[in-house]
Amino acid sequence: MSDPIEKSTTALERAKIPLPKFLKKNHYFGFLGILLVYLLAGTYSEYSQTIMNTIIFAIIGASLIVVFGMAGQLTLGHTIFVAAGVFLSANITTVWTRGLETELPIAFGVAFLLGLIVGFPSLRVNELYLALATFAVAFVGVQVLFEWKQFSGGGSGKPVGKLELFGYEFSRGPTLVRIALVLMLITFWIVGNYQDGRTGRSWNALRTSETAARAAGLPVAWLKILCFGIGGGLAAIGGVLYAHTLRYAIPENYGVSLSIIVVLALIIGGKHRLMGAVLGAAFVKWLPELSRDVQEYEGLIYGGTLIILTLIAPDGLVGMFEWLGERVKNLKNGSEDGKTLSADEGTAPLESQYLAPLASSEAKGSLIVRDAAVAFGGVKAVDGVSFEIPAGGVTGLIGSNGAGKTTLFNAITGHVKGATGQFILDGEEISQKPIHNRALSGLGRTFQNLNLHDDLNVLEHALLGLDRNMKYGRIAESFRMPWVLREEKNAHYVAAELLDHMDLLEYWNEKVEDLPYGLQKRVDVVRALATNPSILLLDEPAAGLPTAEALEMMEKVQEYANHISAGVLIIEHNVELVAGVSDRIIVLDAGKTIADGTPEEVTRNEQVIAAYLGT
Amino acid sequence: MVEYIQIAWQGLVSGFAYALIGLALVMVYKTARILNFAAGTMAGISGFLAHWWAAEQDMPFGVAILFAMIMTGAGTYVVERLTVRPLVKLGDFLPIVIMTLGVEEFLANVSLLWWGGTARRYRVPGDIDRINWLIGDFRLNAWHLVVAITTFVTLSIVGYIINQTELGLGMKAFAEDQDAAKLMGIKESTVSIWTWVLSALVGGVTGIVFAPVLFLQQDYMNIIFIKGFVAAILGGFLSLSGGVAGGLLLGELEAFTIKWAPREFAAALPVVIVFIVLLIRPHGLFTREKGHERV
């Protein structure tokens, strides 16, 4: 405690950024609600069947949150996972005469693998196609089940065996509801853990911009397939429960219409929150209980509700309640409570205990570009460019519009296909690697046209950048292991210090789409810096900013790059600015290097003056 | 030999349905970048209206068809204005897709309430669908001939509209570049709505001519909708003629698969095709790959 650095406040404390905790407020509320239902489940009522169905639909809804709410993959084939659970359960209980201890793992495992296959088209096509491709999967899935009589019993279906767990047989009534509740608790807990961890953050990121997610080093392809695997596996758990409630598995029940209903239910409830899964399930399952008339018009009401909600409350019932809640809060408080940071200045961010260890006196690595070329049709946008960016230091890249600067960046980071030439980072050839692996090798970049994750906040952008150096695995994340939380907490501290350094701390909780342009540019830079890159490629980071502000920002970036000893390559139109910050300038014209030297040499070079600076 | 010609003809007839629905889907997707999940149900309602009016309300067949088409056009106009239009300005397509899902659920239930869930088989006036001609060993059903002729007429009319009219020009402009088209002074909402109506009319024609071929059930067009979608994927989803060709190809593939392969496989054929095409040629069989996304 004698260390003065530890005593002073950290950026995180000053901005009052909450840390991920083992037990959240949601957990307590969830426990309370479930305890209530658990107690009620014992008293038999005419509604126990509806309670059971609501629980099952909530589990399926939670599994859809993974695929659709987080990763943003609109799937209409989700019922094939439910069907997998149902029919596996029927077969395991009757053919193998085993209980839940066998059904649940097998259902999860099989549906997980099935999900990896179903998720495959998501790599090749856009969301619109995917919606229809999965629609086709649901449609054909039922037909295949129908024809595969050995497994499904064909049109007449298959009975489901006893409800057993490790050889103990249970009566189906209240005990089944309790088992379902426990499974729902586990499902919700797991999905909630993803929401707090790196996987959920990555899914949220790829939903809004895959390009940017790749540049931050996220394995987008794997993440997309994984969301189908996990979503499918969890849905199959709902399927096993469904099998035991219905006691009879009939193929035609698991077709397109059920697929659409589960999606509609989640959208009506709200697709970004676990509470949305509960509300949606409750809406769909309790509405028909109201009266017989309602039963007849069931589908009509779902469709109508969805149409109206999509128009007025795109985030569903949960979104509506949250909006109302905020309204009430604002009425009470009058105005928003101040976002200002506490007056305590704290330590300089770079000397804080979180950023100081990142300092390296030794330059990390150099980038060698050999014969880089990119052609669009007949036009050679980049035509045999070679240079070496030494470790550490700032190199400017200038050239008139269309000189090939951004295309060269895209060639280096892999964002443009068909680029030729060699790129060697830190002695390692990266020319053949996919985008995210180049990022993982230590290539950080920003985008000329802002490429941020619109509905994530500033802090989350920094955390996304930090993902590159996170160690914990996805299975540990599913179960909220202590070391996961430890690492997450540390990442929050680091992110806060980094935001403080870039003067973004007070905006940490703002969605980036609500920020002014200049700040958005800074968020882009923060994300790239957070990856702790060896080489940082900045594509017009100061475009559109007044020179004073641009200079201030560049100083901060330079300071940080020096701190972590990263080399910087910067594209910038403002020659004054570039000359001010760079040790060396490369000039491109029509895809070729026409000058390469110190700022003084370059600005005196006649060819450069003719091509770029003008007379 | 005649057996194969018979199978090929059978495949061609189902192919017509897939081709027409594929065309209707591609049309809207190409101009507005929207997938209409209600397309199948809407086409089904057109078919139901026409045949129900003719068979149960004693309307002359021609008048029933005319009324059904008018209803289809007007209904689509209202649906587009009420549900899709308010979302277009948000600039995000996902809510629109979800909206069309909601419309699908809504309309499917309207028709379920109206006509009930049982399958019906309506006769065509003059029992044309029962006339079979034998040409050698080749059996030609008269209604199948009507289907073929209707398909050609529909395709010609759509071709004419796209190539010769201002609406067609607007559609092409929007397909090429939405922003540029707007800057050229083409009104987006006008082009969009007439594309929707045209697409729904093509769907309606399909629903009407195929009703006597299939059992008229509340969701009878859904299977054709799926296969029309597969046709559109085969054609690359951005090419009208590709969608038509994809539909015919799918019809043939299906007809011959049913002959040679086990039923489980025939049922799974559309999905297998979708996966293979997406794996090998995500841009479709007939179109060349377009340029890459700019970063």
Q: Which two tokens stand for residue A53?
A: 């169905």
Phi/psi of residue A586, nearest 5 degrees: -110, 135
Q: Which residue from A143, A304, A314 is facing B106, i.e. has the nearest CB?
A: A304
- Residue A404's contacts (CB-CB under 8 Å, 6 or more residues apart) are A374, A381, A382, A383, A385, A588, A590, A591
User: Residue B183: helix, strand or coil by DSSP?
Assistant: helix
Residue B154: CA count within 13 A, CB half-sphere: 26
The predicted complex's ipTM stands at 0.80
Q: B81 touching A, CB under 8 A?
A: no
Q: Which residue from B106, B222, B282 is facing A124, i.e. has the nearest CB?
A: B282
Q: What is the pLDDT of residue A340?
A: 56
Q: What is the pLDDT of residue A13?
A: 81
Q: Quickly count: other Cβ atoms within 10 Å of residue A550's Cβ.
A: 23
DSSP B114-159: HH-SS-B-PPPGGGGGG-EEEETTEEEEHHHHHHHHHHHHHHHHHH
The residue ranges of every structural domain in chain A are 44-327, 367-613
Q: Note the pLDDT tens digit of each residue in A56-105.
A: 999 999 999 999 999 999 898 999 999 999 999 999 999 888 889 999 99
Block residue for tokens 């790829």: A206
Q: Which residues of B touch A263 (CB under 8 A)?
A: 98, 101
Q: Are strands A535-539 and A443-445 parallel, antiparallel or unpaired?
A: parallel
Q: Would you call B103 and A303 a contact, using CB atoms and an 8 Å cutoff?
A: yes
Q: Quickly count: other Cβ atoms within 10 Å of residue A451's Cβ.
A: 20
Measured CA to CA, the distance from residue B239 to residue B247 in angstroms comes to 12
Helix (H) or strand (E) holding A449: none
A254 close to A238: Cβ distance less than 8 angstroms? no
Q: Would you call A303 and B270 a contact, using CB atoms and an 8 Å cutoff?
A: no
Distance separating the N- and C-terminal Cα atoms of chain A: 63
Measured CA to CA, the distance from residue A228 to residue A118 in angstroms comes to 7
Q: Note the pLDDT tens digit of each residue in A163-191.
A: 888 888 887 778 888 889 999 999 999 99
Q: What is the pLDDT of residue B287?
A: 67
Name the residue among B198, B196, B195, B197 with its Cα closest to residue B170: B195
From chain B residues 233-272, the ones with a CB under 8 A of any chain A CB are: 233, 237, 263-264, 267-268, 270-271
Would you say residue B295 has pLDDT above 50?
A: no
Q: What is the pLDDT of residue B52?
A: 87
Q: Would you call A256 and B222 a contact, using CB atoms and an 8 Å cutoff?
A: yes
Q: Would you call B268 and A144 a contact, using CB atoms and an 8 Å cutoff?
A: yes
Q: Quickly count: other Cβ atoms within 10 Å of residue B136's Cβ.
A: 7
Measured CA to CA, the distance from residue A17 to residue B115 in angstroms comes to 58
Q: What is the pLDDT of residue A339?
A: 53
Q: Which two tokens stand for residue A202?
A: 């990555």
Q: Specify burial of residue A557 (Cβ count, 10 A radius: 0-12, 13-18, 19+).
A: buried
Mean pLDDT calculated for residue range B10-36? 91
* Residue B283 belongs to some domain of the structure: no
Q: Which residue has the higher pLDDT, B123 or B1?
A: B1
- Domain A44-327 sits in CATH at 1.10.3470
Q: B64 touching A, CB under 8 A?
A: no
From chain A residues 110-149, the ones with a CB under 8 A of any chain B CB are: 120-121, 124-125, 127-129, 131-133, 135-137, 139-140, 143-144, 146-148
Q: Which residue from A76, A137, A307 is facing B102, i.e. has the nearest CB?
A: A307
User: Residue B80: helix, strand or coil by DSSP?
Assistant: helix
DSSP state of A430: -
Helix (H) or strand (E) holding A257: helix A256-269
Q: Would you call B113 and A447 a contact, using CB atoms and an 8 Å cutoff?
A: no
Question: Angle at CA A48, nearest 5°, toward A45 and A52?
Answer: 175
Q: What is the pLDDT of residue B87?
A: 86
DSSP A88-157: HHHHIIIII---HHHHHHHHHHHHHHHHHHHTGGGGTS-HHHHHHHHHHHHHHHHHHHHH-HHHH-GGG-
* Residue B34 belongs to some domain of the structure: yes
Q: Note the pLDDT tens digit of each residue in B130-188.
A: 888 888 888 888 889 999 999 999 999 999 999 998 888 888 888 888 788 888 888 88
Name the residue among A338, A299, A262, A328 with its Cα closest to residue A80: A262
Q: What is the pLDDT of residue A2?
A: 41
Q: Which two tokens stand for residue B72?
A: 């289809």
What pTM was computed for the model?
0.88
Domain extent, residue B139, equals 2-221
* Residue B244 belongs to some domain of the structure: no
Q: Would you call B98 and A310 a contact, using CB atoms and an 8 Å cutoff?
A: yes
User: Residue A456: helix, strand or coil by DSSP?
Assistant: coil
Q: Which two tokens stand for residue A542?
A: 């100061």
Q: Quickly count: other Cβ atoms within 10 Å of residue B61's Cβ.
A: 16
Q: What is the pLDDT of residue B290?
A: 54
Q: Quickly count: other Cβ atoms within 10 Å of residue A114's Cβ.
A: 22
Q: B23 touching A, CB under 8 A?
A: no
Q: Quickly count: other Cβ atoms within 10 Å of residue A527's Cβ.
A: 30
Q: In what order do the strands lie in the sheet with A443-445?
A: A443-445, A535-539, A567-571, A394-398, A584-589, A592-597
A583 close to A393: Cβ distance less than 8 angstroms? yes
Q: What is the pLDDT of residue B96?
A: 87
Q: Are strands B132-135 and B138-141 parallel, antiparallel or unpaired?
A: antiparallel
Q: Which residues of A touch B220 (CB under 8 A)?
A: none
| Cβ-based contacts under 8 A for chains A and B | 132
Q: Quickly count: other Cβ atoms within 10 Å of residue A453's Cβ.
A: 24
Measured CA to CA, the distance from residue A129 to residue A132 in angstroms comes to 5
Would you say residue B294 has pLDDT above 60?
A: no
Number of domains in chain B: 1
Q: Would you call B106 and A376 a contact, using CB atoms and an 8 Å cutoff?
A: no
- Domain A367-613 sits in CATH at 3.40.50.300
Q: Which residues of A touch B111 (CB under 8 A)?
A: none
User: Residue B212: helix, strand or coil by DSSP?
Assistant: coil
Q: Which residues of A touch B237 (CB under 8 A)?
A: 129
Q: Which residues of A touch B267 (CB under 8 A)?
A: 140, 143-144, 146-147
* Residue B135 belongs to some domain of the structure: yes
Measured CA to CA, the distance from residue A562 to residue A475 in angstroms comes to 36
Q: Quickly count: other Cβ atoms within 10 Å of residue A52's Cβ.
A: 23
Q: What is the pLDDT of residue B289?
A: 58
- Range A166-169, long-range pairs (CB < 8 A, 24+ positions): A166/A99, A166/A101, A167/A99, A168/A99
Q: Which two tokens stand for residue B194?
A: 């007439």
Q: Would you call A139 and B222 a contact, using CB atoms and an 8 Å cutoff?
A: yes
Q: Quickly count: other Cβ atoms within 10 Å of residue A513's Cβ.
A: 13
* Residue B288 belongs to some domain of the structure: no
Q: What is the largest CA-CA distance in chain A?
A: 91
Helix (H) or strand (E) holding B194: helix B188-210
Residues in chain A: 615
Measured CA to CA, the distance from residue B141 to residue B5 in angstroms comes to 14
Measured CA to CA, the distance from residue B193 to residue A293 in angstroms comes to 35
Name the residue among A461, A523, A508 with its Cα closest to residue A339: A508
Query: Running along chain A, 615 residues long, what does each successive block of 10 average in pLDDT?
Result: 53 83 82 81 75 93 95 91 95 90 95 93 77 82 85 86 85 84 93 94 92 92 95 96 92 86 91 91 85 76 85 87 88 59 65 78 80 87 88 86 88 88 89 90 90 91 93 92 93 92 90 89 93 91 83 88 89 83 88 88 82 60
CA dihedral A292, A297, A299, A305 (to 10 degrees): -110
Mean pLDDT of chain B: 85
Q: Which two tokens stand for residue B64?
A: 């029933």
Strand partners, A169: A164
- Residue A123's contacts (CB-CB under 8 Å, 6 or more residues apart) are A221, A224, A225
Q: A451 touching B, CB under 8 A?
A: yes
Q: A316 touching B, CB under 8 A?
A: no
Q: Which two tokens stand for residue A257?
A: 């219409």
Block residue for tokens 């077709």: A255
Q: Which residues of B touch A307 (CB under 8 A)?
A: 83, 99, 102-103, 106
User: Residue A381: helix, strand or coil by DSSP?
Assistant: strand
Q: Which residues of A touch B263 (CB under 8 A)?
A: 147
Strand partners, A383: A373
DSSP state of A365: -
- Rounded to the nearest angstrom, the minimum Cα separation between A303 and chain B is 4
